[in-house]
């Protein structure tokens, strides 16, 4: 079987109340309620996100697949210029897109190993298995944990050159200040000659962006609402999920898609594990996610600010999505 490092449990055992319970309590105790989007991805949430990636409205996955399909040769060659390396895939998920690069690197007979990182243990188990089937000769070591935990683990356990993948517009979940902290911390684990390939969803017709988060089939709504189901399941809460609805809007000035869960009535919710009862006014909302859209100058500026230089910008045909290759 494939080796797997689980960093998620180490964190939980260090405290009586779980990090999840504390984050939920904190987010629901403020004037404008909020919940961290990283908690979307339990088993059900990861499966729902895979369904989102198949939606016609959710163009991001297909656009990035196009970028990678068109440019995998050049990318694989550029990754390999400094010799053998660790390919670190932050937020790997089902690695649908990364598999294109893994195939290409294998075809080019490059010397590398693959380290997928994700907060979903289910996703990492499934990925490890599927890679063993599809690329049996590939060296894989999956890491379950949050980005920062994983980076620290990598620092201590993976010497040598690193190529970091941060695909899928996952950077979009961060506020401006958070994305700087995040990229700076990635930078602090890297050395001269290391690289970062980052996927960003670009600014475009607001209608297209809006539809991507308001699909006809209601999968995105189910994905958002699953967060409440998860709190019910894991923290012994009694959210009446039917009494909440999904609402997602795009702000074209800030370039951000914001997702909310709106309470359809006045209600009280008890969350046992957090030792908390939360009151919702009718139509009060919980902010659950930001999905920032970038312009190329913005991405270049962000990289530069964090110690990265742009090597190449890879686009899809419509220039709606970009994978930006940075080097240290
Ligand atoms: C996985 C963070 C890139 O923000 O577009 C999809 C998650 N949320 N539909 C995104 C998501 C609603 C997605 N990312």
Nearest-10 Cα torsion for 303, 254, 170, 273: 130
Q: Number of C-alpha atoms within 13 angstroms, CB side, residue 109?
A: 0
Helix (H, G, I), strand (E, B) or coil at 211: helix
Pocket of ligand 1 (CB under 6 A): 52, 60, 168-170, 172-173, 213, 220, 223, 289, 291
**SS3 sequence of 140-200:** ECEEECCHHHHHHHHHHHCCCCEEEEECCCHHHHCCHHHHHHHHHHHHHCCCCCCEEEEEE
Distance CA 77, CA 87 (A): 13
Residue 48: CB partners within 8 Å, gap ≥ 6? 219, 222, 223, 226
Q: Which atom of ligand 1 is nearest to the CA of 224?
A: 12
**What are the tokens at 1?**
């079987």
Say how many Å lie between the CA of residue 220 and the centre of ligand 1: 9
pLDDT 10s digit of each residue in the chain, 328 long? 678 999 987 655 555 568 999 999 999 999 999 999 999 999 899 999 999 999 999 999 999 999 999 999 999 999 999 999 999 999 999 999 999 999 999 999 999 999 999 988 888 999 999 999 999 999 999 999 988 889 899 989 989 999 999 999 999 999 999 999 999 999 999 999 999 999 999 999 999 999 999 999 999 999 999 999 999 999 999 999 999 999 999 999 999 999 999 999 999 999 999 999 999 999 999 999 999 999 999 999 999 999 999 999 999 999 999 999 999 9
pTM: 0.93
């Amino acid at each position: 079987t494939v080796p797997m490092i689980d960093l998620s449990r180490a964190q939980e055992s260090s405290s009586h109340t779980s990090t999840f319970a504390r984050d939920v309590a904190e987010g629901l105790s403020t004037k404008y309620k909020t919940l961290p989007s990283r908690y979307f991805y339990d088993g059900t949430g990861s499966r729902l996100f895979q369904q989102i990636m198949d939606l016609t409205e959710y163009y991001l996955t297909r656009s990035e697949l196009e970028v990678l399909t068109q440019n995998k040769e050049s990318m694989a060659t550029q990754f390999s210029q400094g010799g053998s390396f660790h390919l670190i895939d932050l937020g790997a998920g089902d690695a649908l897109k990364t598999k294109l690069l893994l195939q290409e690197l294998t075809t080019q007979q490059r010397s590398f190993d693959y380290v997928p990182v994700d907060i979903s243990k289910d996703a990492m188990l499934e990925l490890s298995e599927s890679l063993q089937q599809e690329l049996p000769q590939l060296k894989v070591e999956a890491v379950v944990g949050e980005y920062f935990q994983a980076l620290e683990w990598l620092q201590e356990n993976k010497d040598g050159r690193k190529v970091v993948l941060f695909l899928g517009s996952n950077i979009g979940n961060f506020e401006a200040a958070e994305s700087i902290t995040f990229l700076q911390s990635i930078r602090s684990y890297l050395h001269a000659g290391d690289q970062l390939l980052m996927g960003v969803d670009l600014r475009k017709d607001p209608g297209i962006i809006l539809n991507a988060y308001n699909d006809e089939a209601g999968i995105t709504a189910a994905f958002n609402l699953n967060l409440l189901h998860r709190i019910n399941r894991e923290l012994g809460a009694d959210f009446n999920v039917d009494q909440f609805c999904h609402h997602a809007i795009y702000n074209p000035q800030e370039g951000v898609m914001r997702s909310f869960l709106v309470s359809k009535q006045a209600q009280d919710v008890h969350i046992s594990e957090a030792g908390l009862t939360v009151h919702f006014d009718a139509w009060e909302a919980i902010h659950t996610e930001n999905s920032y859209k970038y312009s190329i100058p913005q991405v270049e500026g962000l990289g530069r600010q964090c110690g990265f230089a742009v090597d190449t910008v890879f686009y899809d045909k419509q220039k709606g999505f970009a994978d930006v290759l940075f080097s240290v």
